[in-house]
Structure 1
Amino acid sequence: MSPTAVTNAEESARLQADVLAAGAVCWREGRSGLEVLLVHRPRYDDWSWPKGKVDKGETLPECAVREVAEETGFDIHLGLPMPSARYTVGRRLTKHVSYWAAEVTSDKPAKPDDPKEIDRAEWFPVGTARAKLSRFADREQLDRLEHAHRTGALRAWALIIVRHGKAFPRSKWHETEHVRPLLALGTRQSMALTGLLAAWRIKRVVSSPWKRCVATLKPYSAAVGRSIKTVAPLSEKANAANPKKTAKALVAILEKGKPTVICTHRPVLPTVLAVLADHAPAGLAERLPKKDPYMNPGEILVAYVRPGPVPRIVEFERYRPIDA
């Protein structure tokens, strides 16, 4: 499993770390305003964000969701990425922790799975949490959370672009192109995407009508009980004939303002990336991939879109569940 970030610096930091972990800054709107959830570890007598190490075969987003559930009892979906943490543990091992914001709407009390590891999980106003956090560096995530809250980005929704899984080689396929299927690896990638995509709250599942794209999203669609809406302009042929129509279809999806996953083809990605760049600040747009093949088979690109009448992308990240 090789999680790949949009930014080379972030990817390099992950690849160089000895230990990978993930967690979330869980938040809610309370009576006193913005509140965050901290956990107490009796072994260290400290307060921190819920987090934990990646299990074998698990991506960082999946790890964050699992660890929050284990340490707090809350089932979350990921929101805006927060700053990652990097520090030394044990015998000079480097640990990299990825964080996301996660809104908690449940009013049930927190309930950690293992009291020996986490004996308390409590909500605090941000001012109290700032003083309560044991590691000074953990305030970096809190600073970003407060800034996102002030700017309206904290409830950013996810638009996820998927490049379809590994398909039967084009050069060896002698039938109609739109029915060219996935290889066994592509099928494994589609299955692995089910867990990865479940880390975000997705409302719409959209695909090119071609077989390999629909097949890439089919396991996820079945798992969450959402039908796949096929959009003709997302196919290779339609994009080659009229990329403006493809771009218009993508803009319409952005303007709907609903968390969406879209599966399309490598040759369509330049059109997709151009639309995303048009809806992002220049500095952020510069981080999008620029060279063919842009994304690996089965890889996802997550664009976080600030709610509002004009869709504006505030962050990007990329992951792939299985290496090609």
Structure 2
Amino acid sequence: MIKAAGAVLWRDADGDVEVAVVHRRRYDDWSLPKGKLDRGETIPACAAREVVEETGYECVLGRYLLQTSYKVRGDAKTVDYYAAEAVSGSFVANDEVDSLKWLPVAEAASVLTYAHDRDVLAEFDRLPADLLLVLLVRHAKAGKRSEWDLDDDLRPLSGAGWKQAAALQSLLPLWSPTRVHTAPRVRCADTVRGVAEDLAVEMVEEPRLSEEGYWPDPEAGLVRLLEVAAVEGRAVVSSQGGVIPSVVRTLTELGGLRQSEFPCKKGSVWVLAFTRPFGTWSTSDSPSRWPTLVSAHYLASALPRP
């Protein structure tokens, strides 16, 4: 199995969305930027790296789009795609790509050589490009509760947990979060502390997103997460396994998404994308004006493939 990743790279062109299509000299085709995973690389990191290498543009990842699969000289190949906003850079012809065009989505679709690339572009076009984003993290592995005699709130990460936290510190910035929130548990805070330090921001404690704070009033916990999304645009939220599946299940039901499973491994991430409310928003507004979940993608691990 050949694993690859890519992106629909987009930019705002005076209020309209343009996407990048690239011409590959070797194949004489027009495609979306993509390429094979390097050893020890995650799929999101590969998508961002390939964008830079093929287009010259630094990007910020957005929602997950879809996976395509096809045969290459008899071998099965899968390509996972993300939306990605161009934030800086410029195109310079390179060994792989000799031309790049910024085009409106409909025009780009007519230029792309392959049907599977057009399918990816159609999924990108199904929703607005500029969405709110919450990276909902379950805390990394901690020491066994049976072997911890002190307050469970203070139970620290294990050695394996610190490795997961380091991997998250590398992975989560691909989505360019601006704030870090955490349930008031040492293990929750330490899981994302490195991200907060890199951003030079203080972590915000979220009692309503801890297990004992959430279950007496799940609606209040849900509203708090929506408030984080609406006010900050892009945020990391570290919580617990007794909270995250309920939150994601409720949000998908409210958003009308088809999601039958809600896994929540330690150190995993749900990438949640929401519509933006019109105008100024507050929790006192009618629920019809709250952000709506439109995409939920689960990353079982921040650790790279062997």
TM range (shorter): 0.7 to 0.9
Instruction: Give matches, 1:260-275, under 5 Å.
Output: 260-275=235-250
Please say if residues 191 and 220 of structure 1, whose CA atoms lie closer than 8 Å, have aligned partners that are also in contact. Answer: no
- AA paired with 2:302? P
Instruction: Give matches, 1:29-178, under 5 Å.
Output: 29-30=12-13, 33-90=16-73, 92-106=74-88, 108-111=89-92, 115-148=94-127, 153-178=128-153
Tell me: CA distance 1:313–1:89, structure 2 relative to 1, closer, same or farther (3 Å): same
Tell me: CA distance 1:257–1:306, structure 2 relative to 1, closer, same or farther (3 Å): farther
The Cα shift of 1:27 comes to: 1.6
Gaps of 5+ in 2: 278-288
Provide the secondary structure at the position in 2 that maps to 1:272. Answer: helix
The answer as to 2:174 corresponding to 1:191 is no
Q: Distance in 1 between matches of 2:97 and 2:157?
A: 44
Provide the secondary structure at the position in 1 that maps to 2:290. Answer: coil
Tell me: CA distance 1:104–1:173, structure 2 relative to 1, closer, same or farther (3 Å): same
Please say if residues 273 and 288 of structure 1, whose CA atoms lie closer than 8 Å, have aligned partners that are also in contact. Answer: no
The Cα shift of 1:53 comes to: 0.9
Please say if residues 42 and 303 of structure 2, whose CA atoms lie closer than 8 Å, have aligned partners that are also in contact. Answer: no
Return 164-173 or 198-207, whichever deviates more. Answer: 198-207
Please say if residues 226 and 290 of structure 2, whose CA atoms lie closer than 8 Å, have aligned partners that are also in contact. Answer: no
The Cα shift of 1:87 comes to: 0.8
Q: Which residue of 1 aligns with 2:282?
A: none
The Cα shift of 1:155 comes to: 1.3
Candidates 208, 225, 229, aligned match of 2:204: 229
Please say if residues 5 and 35 of structure 2, whose CA atoms lie closer than 8 Å, have aligned partners that are also in contact. Answer: yes
- AA paired with 2:228? I
Tell me: CA distance 1:143–1:273, structure 2 relative to 1, closer, same or farther (3 Å): closer
Gaps of 5+ in 1: 1-17
The Cα shift of 1:200 comes to: 0.7
- AA paired with 1:93? D
TM-score scaled by length of structure 2? 0.87
Provide the secondary structure at the position in 2 that maps to 1:267. Answer: coil
Q: Distance in 1 between matches of 2:190 and 2:253?
A: 29
Please say if residues 181 and 203 of structure 2, whose CA atoms lie closer than 8 Å, have aligned partners that are also in contact. Answer: yes
Aligned sequence identity (%): 33
Tell me: CA distance 1:120–1:225, structure 2 relative to 1, closer, same or farther (3 Å): farther
Q: Distance in 1 between matches of 2:217 and 2:109?
A: 53
Structure holding more strand per residue: 2
The Cα shift of 1:275 comes to: 4.2
Tell me: CA distance 1:306–1:287, structure 2 relative to 1, closer, same or farther (3 Å): farther
The Cα shift of 1:75 comes to: 1.0
Return 33-42 or 237-246, whichever deviates more. Answer: 237-246
- AA paired with 1:51? K
The number of aligned residues is 292
Q: Distance in 2 between matches of 1:24 and 1:209?
A: 36
Q: Distance in 2 between matches of 1:171 and 1:67?
A: 45
Tell me: CA distance 1:298–1:199, structure 2 relative to 1, closer, same or farther (3 Å): same
The Cα shift of 1:36 comes to: 1.5
The Cα shift of 1:133 comes to: 1.4
- AA paired with 1:256? V
